Amino acid sequence: MSAAPADPRSGAEEPVPARPAAPPPVTITFRLVNASVRVLMVLWRVRLVVEGLDRLPDRPGIILASNHLSWADPVLLAVVVHRANGRRVRHMAKAEAVSIPVFGLLLRDYGGFAVRRGRPDREAYRMARDVLAGGDWLGLAPEGTRSRTGTLGEPKPGVALLAVRSGAEIVPAAIWGTEELWPIGSLLPHPGKTVHIRFGDPYRLSIGPDVEAPGGPAEEPRGRADGRRSGAAERHAVLDAASEELMRRIASLLPASYRGRFG
């Protein structure tokens, strides 16, 4: 369900408005779903082990960046964060899920919003910034989709770009065991599993807000085009380094067998 934003094309952006200190109100759907999840965990004998709750700041507009193994990941992370500090975590979801009758309505009322994966989506990017500006937390998976190997995959640059352009703090998080609780391809969760969640220290990316996504006109005078290509390559390198740092922070919270090349 969770996803990372694709690169929007570069362009001037307005500063992010001041974020409210108190948690914004949550919907009845959000409370009902969270309560239902807690009941189902008892019925399905799901054991939840959480570490690092003391690292969760009680501040608005945080990006919660985690690995992604199962459909269960976003809701379990949202339940844990809300119980810890009263903050709602809103996750991006693939557009196909949001468009499903009834389920899509429930997903949107819970806080999910659509992103078209595999191509730039300006509307999803604007919505992500609005979520942060409104004081909710934004849940993102830098990989952009569930891992089919169980290990960390390559990150998309969208999370790093959003963090830089919005000025938001990032809280890295690791979740594992959900690939056994609700495996890819399974219609229903499997009872009797243990899920681990571990939170890392919040941090800010140390690159300037003038970083822009690559992209430009198809045809330009040679000198200007060469300059743009050079600048785009530099921005790519900066965002790649920031994404690499984020993935290594997430990997450090995971058991070694889940880290992939970031171990």
Grouped pLDDT means (10 residues each) for the chain, 263 residues: 52 52 87 96 97 96 97 96 96 78 85 74 88 95 94 94 93 98 94 98 77 42 56 84 96 98 93
pLDDT for position 200: 98
Single pTM value for the model? 0.84
Evaluate whether 5 touches 124 at the Cβ level (below 8 Å).
Answer: yes
Pull the structure tokens for residue 124: 């999803």
Contacts 24+ apart (CB under 8 A), 246-249: 246/65, 246/142, 246/155, 246/159, 246/160, 246/170, 246/172, 247/142, 247/152, 247/155, 249/172, 249/200, 249/203
Q: How far apart are CA 121 and CA 16, in angstroms?
A: 19
HEC sequence for the chain:
CCCCCCCCCCCCCCCCCCCCCCCCCCCHHHHHHHHHHHHHHHHCCCEEEEECHHHCCCCCCCEEEECCCCCHHHHHHHHHHHHHHCCCEEEEEEHHHHCCCCHHHHHHHHCCEEECCCCCCHHHHHHHHHHHHHCCEEEECCCCCCCCCCCCCCCCCHHHHHHHHHCCCEEEEEEECHHHHCCCCCCCCCCCCEEEEEECCCECCCCCCCCCCCCCCCCCCHHHHHHHHHHHHHHHHHHHHHHHHHHHHHHHHCCHHHCHHHC
Q: How far apart are CA 113 and CA 96, in angstroms?
A: 11
φ, ψ (nearest 5 deg) of residue 73: -55, -55
Q: Identify which of 174, 193, 196 has the alpha carbon closest to the alpha carbon of residue 183.
A: 193
Q: How far apart are CA 73 and CA 262, in angstroms?
A: 20
pLDDT for position 219: 42
CA-atom Rg of the chain in angstroms: 18
| Ordered strands of the 47-51 beta sheet | 47-51, 194-199, 170-176, 63-66, 137-140, 89-94, 113-115
Q: Identify which of 163, 181, 177, 178 has the alpha carbon closest to the alpha carbon of residue 243.
A: 163
Q: How far apart are CA 219 and CA 63, in angstroms?
A: 36
Structural domains present in the chain: 28-262 (3.40.1130)
pLDDT for position 94: 75
